[in-house]
Amino acid sequence: MSMTRPRSGDRVRWWTYALLALAAFACLFPLYWMFIVATTDTATATTLPPEIVPGGNFFHLAGLVFSTVPFVRSVVNSLVVAGTIGVGQAVLCALAGFAFAKLRFRGRDALFLLVVLTMTVPTQLAIVPQYMITSLLGWVDTLQALIVPGLANAFGIFWMRQHISSTISDEILQAARIDGASTWQIFWRVAFPLVRPAAFVLGLLGFVTAWNDFLWPFVVLKSPEMYTVQIAIKALQNSFNIDLGLAMSGSFLATLPLLVLFVFVGRRMVAGIMDGAFKG
Amino acid sequence: MTTSITPTKAGLPPAPPVEAARRGFIEIIAPYAYIAPFFLLFAVFGLIPLLFTFYVALFDWNPIGEHVFVGLDNFDRLLGDVRFWNAARNTVSIWLLSTVPQLLVALVLAHLLNHARLRLAVFFRMTMLVPYITSVAATAIVFVQMFDRDYGLLNWLLGLVGFEHIDFTQSVTGSHVLIAVMVTWRWFGYTTLLYLASLQAVSREIYEAAAVDGAGNVRQFLHISLPALRPVIVFTIVTSTIGGLQIFTEALLVNRGAANTCGPIRQCQTLTLFLFEQGFIQFKFGYAAAIGVALFVMVVGFAGLNYFLSTRIRPVKG
């Protein structure tokens, strides 16, 4: 693998490592710092020189997080929202990507162009009418207001179409067709299993995006028991408690599940992002 | 029609006519059914709201009261509103401060990572994605603390080497820099991976041939890597324009004392935050929609301009 990569001729200079190590440090340090402040009490978070090793106050602060906002509930809410969106995107985008990659139908190319064009539409600025529609549906302060709009997206369709056209040969699908399989069966039994790794990464990206989403949940959710973790963090920052450690503990607790997930699937996410990127 | 779509297997008896017709219909609409969910969702939660924004902007629209048609009054007021111009200036400033360094850093890092004999390559790539999986809210809270005037780590370090403490959250420039740092931190690794993917698609032989011809590292970068990256650079410039002009969460979390204006003198209130303030704190839906229209014009304008520039300007051949 590494032998086929470009620029194999020259040696790696020390400053290449120095710069990359600096970048890695910049990426990891804020999270380490979050943990430090999350484990020290207010006095330490506001003393100089700052502490640089974790303190022993984590459980105290975590307890305070749980008593200030319904944190467990917000984690469950976030899991429900992000999980449903992740699975929804993996399946619905694969389905649409399959249609665009492998099925012949009238208007296909024009419709695909339309999908790509929607990626450039800045829909966030339409948040006022989005709220009106949500209100009309009776979805204000509900989780489906967060879930339904995120179930499919243009980027995912584009991505799955790329993967399906490059990894699945027409012959396999035709063989299934000759065996009498319906289009749905061909998708579900033949095509989807073959692109499951790509769909998995797409679902992960959807999960992470939904888990971290802020503006829309902030506008739509009203009652503390409907909060997602991000809104719970904001509520912690808002609480009259001036304790920095409290908001930091909340942030740390909200980030921890994704960090743990990342340890297991980070490699596949990196590979997936690079696979889906522009080539050449 | 039916037979061409679902040919019957040799051993199986053909489906009864009614059944076959039903199945044929399903097969014809299948592709449309598969792409329908996206179009439906985009219509209901994307396109219709966007079009409706232009309509609501023509009204004095109270969410629980009257809707009075006021024509272009909202736009008239908007153009004379210093808060709007302030937010527009802040938005462009923060966007430039976050996009330009981010793309340059990503270019350099992608070039460094694209080395066949690099050790720890997987580690470096993975750490660069860590900021991307960290939520904007958590990021904002940590960075605001690190950049705190009195007790922040950064100001402590500045103090050690004899500099004055900088009040990042309360000053205009300081708050813009702070938000730009958060945005850059979040996205530079992701952008690096996109650039790296494009670089890896360039064949090794081209670099080797260049090396044989005596082209050094820098010339290889300028004449081989950079042209190969053109499409992805255009893509990242356009997407970071669309995203960068709609920054909200970072700005909301910078000053918790005056969150909706990003501070007492609106020093870092972005257009999206101004829209939020007018729509969901003041409940002026019509005025907020007008801000939305202005933001739309800006995003389309800048994205179009950047697309035009980045596809037209070509490096000098040499």
What ipTM is given for this predicted complex?
A: 0.89
Position A111 in a domain:
yes
- Picking from B48, B53, B211, the nearest residue to A128 by CB comes out as B53
| pLDDT (0 to 100) of residue A46 | 60
Cβ contacts (< 8 Å) between B136 and chain A: which residues?
212, 214, 230
pLDDT exceeds 70 at position B14: no
| pLDDT (0 to 100) of residue A50 | 66
- Picking from B41, B128, B145, the nearest residue to A149 by CB comes out as B41
Cβ contacts (< 8 Å) between B188 and chain A: which residues?
23
Q: Quick count: other Cβ atoms within 10 Å of Cβ A1?
A: 6
Q: Could you read off the pLDDT of B202-238 as tens digits, one per residue?
A: 888 888 888 888 887 788 888 888 888 988 999 899 8
Q: Where are the domains of chain B?
A: 2-40, 81-312
Position A2 in a domain:
no
Closest C-alpha to A96, from B204, B267, B37, B297: B37
Confidence of residue B123 (pLDDT cuts 50, 70, 90): very high
Cβ contacts (< 8 Å) between A3 and chain B: which residues?
116
Query: Kindly report the CA angle at A229 between A228 and A231, in degrees rounded to 5?
Result: 70
Could you tell me if B190 lies within 8 Å of chain A, comparing CB atoms? Answer: yes
Count of A–B CB contacts within 8 Å? 341
Position A1 in a domain:
no
Position A129 in a domain:
yes
Q: Could you read off the pLDDT of B59-110 as tens digits, one per residue?
A: 999 888 888 999 999 999 999 999 999 999 999 999 999 999 999 999 999 9
pLDDT exceeds 70 at position B18: no
Position A34 in a domain:
yes
Q: Please state the rounded mean pLDDT for residues A90-106.
A: 95
Matching residue, tokens 């908007």 = B78
The string of DSSP letters for chain B reads -HHHHSPPPTTSPPPPHHHHHHHHHHHHHHHHHHHHHHHHHHIIIIIHHHHHHHHHTTEEE-TTS-EEE-TTHHHHHHHT-HHHHHHHHHHHHHHHHHHHHHHHHHHHHHHHH--TT-TTHHHHHHHHHHHHHS-HHHHHHHHHHHT-TTT-HHHHHHHHTTPPPP-TTTSHHHHHHHHHHHHHHHHHHHHHHHHHHHHHTS-HHHHHHHHHTT--HHHHIIIIIHHHHHHHHHHHHHHHHHHHTT--HHHHHH-GGGGGGTSTT-TT--HHHHHHIIIIIS--HHHHHHHHHHHHHHHHHHHHHHHHHHHH--PPP-
Cβ contacts (< 8 Å) between B118 and chain A: which residues?
12, 16, 20
- Name which CATH class applies to B81-312: mainly alpha
Position A83 in a domain:
yes
Confidence of residue B5 (pLDDT cuts 50, 70, 90): very low
pLDDT exceeds 70 at position B1: no
Q: Could you read off the pLDDT of A184-224 as tens digits, one per residue?
A: 999 999 999 999 999 999 999 999 999 999 999 999 999 99
**Residue B136 and residue A214: Cβ atoms within 8 Å?**
yes
Could you tell me if B314 lies within 8 Å of chain A, comparing CB atoms? Answer: no
CATH number for position A75: 1.10.3720.10
Q: Are B27 and A103 in contact (CB under 8 A)?
A: no
**Residue A20 and residue B46: Cβ atoms within 8 Å?**
no
A24: domain range? 12-276
Q: Please state the rounded mean pLDDT for residues A1-24.
A: 72
- Choice among B12-16, B122-126, B243-247 with the minimum mean pLDDT: B12-16
Q: What CA–CA distances, in Å, run from B155 to A55, B160, B164, B186, B211?
A: 22, 8, 8, 22, 46
What's the CA gap between B141 and B109, in Å, rounded? 27
Q: Quick count: other Cβ atoms within 10 Å of Cβ B84?
A: 19
The count of domains in chain A is 1
CA distance A46 to chain B (A): 5
B116 compared with B272, residue with greater pLDDT: B272
- Picking from B12, B135, B296, the nearest residue to A254 by CB comes out as B135
| pLDDT (0 to 100) of residue A278 | 54
Q: Could you read off the pLDDT of A233-275 as tens digits, one per residue?
A: 998 887 755 567 788 889 999 999 999 999 999 999 999 888 8
Q: Please state the rounded mean pLDDT for residues B242-271.
A: 92
Non-local CB neighbours of A193 within 8 Å, separated by 6+ positions: none
- Picking from A26, A92, A262, the nearest residue to B38 by CB comes out as A92
Non-local CB neighbours of A70 within 8 Å, separated by 6+ positions: A224, A225, A227, A232
